[in-house]
Amino acid sequence: MTRALIVIDVQESFRQGPRWTSVSVPDIAARVGRLVEAARARGETVVWVLHTETDGGPFDPSSEFVRLIDGLKTLPGEPVLTKTTRNAFTSTELQRLLTVAGIRELTVCGIQTEQCCETTARVAGDYGYDVEFVTEATATFPIPHRDAPDGRSWDEIVADPRTLGTAEITERTEYALAGRFATIRTLEEVVNR
pLDDT at residue 31, as a whole number: 98
Please state, rounded to an integer, the average pLDDT across all residues of the chain: 97
Task: Quote the pLDDT of residue 190.
Answer: 98
Where residue 6 falls among pLDDT bands split at 50, 70, 90?
A: very high
CA torsion angle 172 177 182 183 (round to 10): 50
| Average pLDDT for 22-43 | 98
Average pLDDT over residues 66-88: 97
pLDDT of residue 1: 74
Distance CA 173, CA 175 (A): 5
**pLDDT tens sequence across 34-54:** 999 999 999 999 999 999 999
108/120 Cα distance (integer angstroms): 8
Residue 153 pLDDT > 90, yes or no?
Answer: yes
pLDDT of residue 43: 97
Residues labelled catalytic: 116
User: CATH assignment of 3-191, given 3.40.50.720, 3.30.479.30, 3.40.50.850, 3.20.20.70?
Assistant: 3.40.50.850
Instruction: Give the Cα separation of 40 and 176 in Å (integer).
Output: 29
Buried b (16+ CB within 10 A) or exposed e, 91-129: ebebeeebeeeebeebbbbbbbbbbbbbbbbbbbbeeeb
Model pLDDT for residues 115-148, shown as the tens digit of each residue: 999 999 999 999 999 999 999 999 999 999 999 9
